[in-house]
């Protein structure tokens, strides 16, 4: 099964969600090495990107030109959204995604990033000015990621999706929660069906998809053409490929649970050190190492040593023992 987004063919229809502080270039590259129809960069603030404020550079290493990679931008000002889109296109990107789903207070509050992200669902007229600015600025396909609504009294994702489609958006991803739910409760995949019925462009289901069974259920209940996986891939970068194999007959991921698993984790660790530099890379890597050790049931004392040492070579020396208890993978 494939998804057509303008002139791009995305296959398999199992995508990696943007996760702040997680889906950086090293992690996206690792996920893509197993197999994913699309990976999405961490969200980047449009004005900060254009003005190149400090701290944006490492997050904005966005994989320009890499096949099946989307660059996600956020903001509340049409001028900056359009300028960011032009900059992204000029750097060779293949796809641009607009974030209207982030629930973080620093993004949605007027005192933070300017009432962006999912706060835009409270003002669809303004949201459409941003979509139109991005679509009108570039020749690239533009997609949208959002939620069911702001809260239970404002479930306007179908209207937003329909208006976005009319403005030129080529695909819509829906997280099956409202903004006010944040990540609490359960994602309502059935509610996404209202969006699927409102538009002709592909709809992607997102939220609480952590294995093949939940992916299959999400697609059945939502009527979506594909799924987007976020937190479920933490510590399991092969998960998207496994889901694609189980649901769509894509090649099974080649995951070996002995030395090859340790080599994969070590390679990811070294890629982060190279990407960020030794000191920052070692700090950023700790959460990923923690998730890998969760998967491996690592002995607590050894886990603590790995996560507290400041010496990368010590981490690499200890990883074989830390990951030796790994017994298998559950998709």
List residues with catalytic annotation: 102
Distance of CA 55 to the CA centre of its chain: 20
Task: Show Cβ contacts of residue 62 under 8 Å, excluding neighbours closer than 6 positions.
Answer: 25, 41, 44, 69, 71, 88, 91, 93
The DSSP output letter for 77 is -
Rounded to the nearest 5°, which phi and psi values hold at 92?
Answer: 95, 15
SS (H, E, C) 175-226: EEEEHHHCCCCCCCHHHHHHHHCCCCCCEEEECCCCCHHHHHHHHHHHCCCE
Rounded to the nearest 5°, which phi and psi values hold at 2?
Answer: -125, 160
Please tell me whether residue 285 adopts helix, strand or coil conformation.
Answer: helix
Q: Alpha-carbon distance 316 to 319, whole Å?
A: 5
Closest by CA to 234, choosing from 185, 286, 292, is 292
Write the Ramachandran bin of 235: left for phi over 0, alpha for psi from -120 to 50, otherwise beta: left
């Amino acid at each position: 099964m494939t998804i057509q987004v303008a002139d791009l063919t995305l296959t398999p229809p199992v995508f990696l969600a943007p996760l702040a502080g997680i889906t950086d270039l090293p992690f996206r590259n690792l996920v893509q090495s197993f197999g994913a129809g699309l990976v999405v960069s961490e969200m980047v603030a449009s004005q900060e990107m254009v003005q190149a404020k400090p701290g944006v550079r490492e997050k904005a290493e966005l994989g320009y030109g890499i096949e099946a990679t989307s660059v996600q931008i956020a903001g509340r000002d049409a001028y900056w959204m359009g300028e960011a889109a032009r900059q992204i296109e000029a750097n060779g990107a293949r796809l641009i995604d607009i974030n209207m789903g982030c629930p973080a207070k620093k993004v949605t509050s007027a005192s933070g990033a300017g009432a962006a992200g999912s706060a835009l669902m409270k003002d669809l007229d303004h949201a459409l000015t941003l979509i139109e600015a991005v679509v009108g600025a570039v020749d690239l396909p533009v997609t949208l990621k959002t939620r069911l609504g702001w809260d239970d009294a404002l479930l306007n994702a179908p209207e937003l999706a329909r208006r976005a489609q009319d403005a030129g958006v080529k695909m819509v991803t829906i997280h099956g929660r409202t903004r006010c739910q944040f990540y609490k409760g359960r994602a309502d995949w059935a509610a996404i069906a209202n969006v699927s019925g409102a538009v002709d462009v592909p709809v992607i289901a997102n939220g609480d998809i952590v294995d093949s069974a939940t992916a299959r259920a999400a697609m059945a209940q939502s009527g979506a053409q594909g799924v987007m996986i976020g937190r479920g891939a933490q510590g399991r970068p092969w998960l998207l490929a496994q889901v694609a194999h189980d649901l769509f007959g894509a090649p099974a991921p080649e995951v070996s649970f002995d030395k090859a698993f340790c080599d994969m984790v070590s390679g990811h660790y070294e890629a982060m050190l190279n990407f960020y530099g030794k000191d920052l890379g070692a700090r950023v890597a700790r959460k990923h190492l923690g998730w890998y050790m969760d998967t491996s049931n690592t002995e607590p004392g050894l886990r603590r040593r790995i996560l507290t040492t400041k010496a990368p070579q010590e981490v690499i020396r200890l990883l074989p023992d830390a990951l030796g208890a790994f017994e298998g993978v559950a998709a």
